[in-house]
Amino acid sequence: MANNHILLVSFSGQGHINPSLQFAKRLLQMGAKVTFCTSLSSIRRMSKTASIIPGLTLAPFSDGYDNGWTTADNVEEFFISFRTCGTEAVTNLIMAKEKEGHPFTHVVYSTLITWAGEVANRFRIPSTLLWNQPASVFYVYYLYFNKIVDFKGENSEVVELPGLPLVLSSCDLPSFMQSSSPVVYNFSLPLLIEHLEILDRAVDKQKVLVNTFDALEFETLRAITKYDLMGIGPLIPSAFLDGKDPLDTSFGGDLIEKTVDYMNWLNLKDELSVIYVSFGSYSNLSEQQMEEVANGLIKSHKPFLWVIRDGKSGAKQEENNRVSWMKEVEKQGMIVPWCCQLEVLSHPSVGCFLTHSGWNSCIESLASGVPIVAFPQWADQPMNSKLVQDYWKTGVRVAAATDGGIVTADEIARCLGIVMGGGERGEDMRKQAKKWKNLAKEAVIEGGSSNVSLRVFMDQIAGANQSSSS
């Protein structure tokens, strides 16, 4: 394994960096040499908040947004800049390593980084996609782009997925496939199509590593015979999963610094009594929706820990400029600008996670045994919510009002009551959540499905490396 020099290229978002870094740790543990490449702005922020991963080489590049990209920037312009700068940087990095006599033997690239696969193909370096969404979402895109299933997008229609006991309506599809998807994200579908095209042009077997595990998506991982989908997750720190490395308590790439002590507050709460609330690192709810969430939490009559990012839409404002609901919220709950999510989810006082249903949040919740109230916004989140509610049965999805799509306080309180209440449905969710927690742990231990898949992957690339050098 020592001859394996892997270039791991990640998109600069928190939801991509976290699983990529955890994947890098596992490669390092197996004896590979790993270089991690992402934007300069992200590396700078990581260096302020996280400990350096021993043995990992960092290779930052300027993406044209060295002070960081925000949702106020033009999304399409940012992606064009990221691609242009990243392509040049990775090309130069590969050439430099070849000149030094320490060439990369394999390239792994995260979702949205299609250009890294193109560069690898140009240099005839084997490459692999690290897919940081469920295998089921990859499958839906595959069926859609290859016109195997006709997704009409009408509310009245449902679609059955070949080989899977899963029926989807239009509101369950990834948002980019829905007719209501904002024009600003029109670039997304072509980018996802490009992933499949690059896989088809790859110089080695068409492998896709997925942040999931066999027990969770067994049928889906085997539904596409054209590609070799391998579940290698959950990609979360060992201390919160198998416990093999109790010092592994952080992904190592937090882009926001934790500034508030919330653990003492959690320690004072009863077991399974707290609602944890977070809508991810990018989602911004409208002020009207934030107020509905606040009132729903208040109506739940449960303590809650709510992450509201500073400086964002609906975020925590200066003391003299707070809206009225903030004062009511802080009587019942605690508001923080950021936290270690796994630290919170693994705390015994937490009984429910109100989440936007990004995949990292979903799989971290599954691995922690915490039921979900799903509040999807965009991208893969609607389908993740469908899986959580109807397939894995560890949560319930909120219903948006037809006029404007606002989820009301009453609806939020209703869903929280189901999950946090003492009824049969809530109890069933807690049992299912505990089951998935145990199965997630089994997947990553020695001999578990994800552990075996990762070793197979490493053996395959080691074999390809030996063949090319002989």
State the average pLDDT for the chain. Answer: 88
- To the query of whether residue 16 is one of the catalytic residues in this protein, the response is yes
Q: What percent of the chain is helix, strand and coil (3-state, nearest 5)? A: 45, 15, 40
User: Could you tell me the two tokens for 48?
Assistant: 């302020």
pLDDT for the residue numbered 470:
47
Catalytic annotation, pick one of 5, 16, 195, 347: 16
Mean pLDDT confidence for 303-308: 95
**Calpha distance 279→276 (Å, rounded):** 10
What one-letter code names the amino acid at 319?
E
Mean pLDDT confidence for 189-199: 90
- If you write DSSP's letter for every residue of 191-248 in order, what string do you get? HHHHHHHHHHH-SS--EEEESS-HHHHHHHHTT-TTSEEEE----S-GGGTT-S-TT-
- If you write DSSP's letter for every residue of 226-242 in order, what string do you get? TSEEEE----S-GGGTT
Domains and CATH numbers, the chain: 5-250+444-469 (3.40.50.2000), 263-439 (3.40.50.2000)
**Calpha distance 89→119 (Å, rounded):** 10
Give the DSSP letter of residue 388: I
**Calpha distance 213→440 (Å, rounded):** 7
**Calpha distance 32→35 (Å, rounded):** 10
pLDDT for the residue numbered 257:
65
Q: What is the pLDDT of residues 375-399, one digit of tens each?
A: 999 889 999 999 999 999 999 999 9
Q: Are 230 and 451 in contact (CB under 8 A)?
A: no
Q: Are 130 and 20 in contact (CB under 8 A)?
A: yes
pLDDT for the residue numbered 315:
41
Mean pLDDT confidence for 112-131: 94
pLDDT for the residue numbered 37:
96
Mean pLDDT confidence for 362-381: 96
The pTM assigned to this predicted structure is: 0.92
Confidence label for 322 from pLDDT (cuts 50, 70 and 90):
very low
**Calpha distance 351→361 (Å, rounded):** 15
**Calpha distance 295→412 (Å, rounded):** 9
Q: What is the pLDDT of residues 25-69, one digit of tens each?
A: 999 999 999 999 999 988 888 766 556 788 999 999 999 888 777
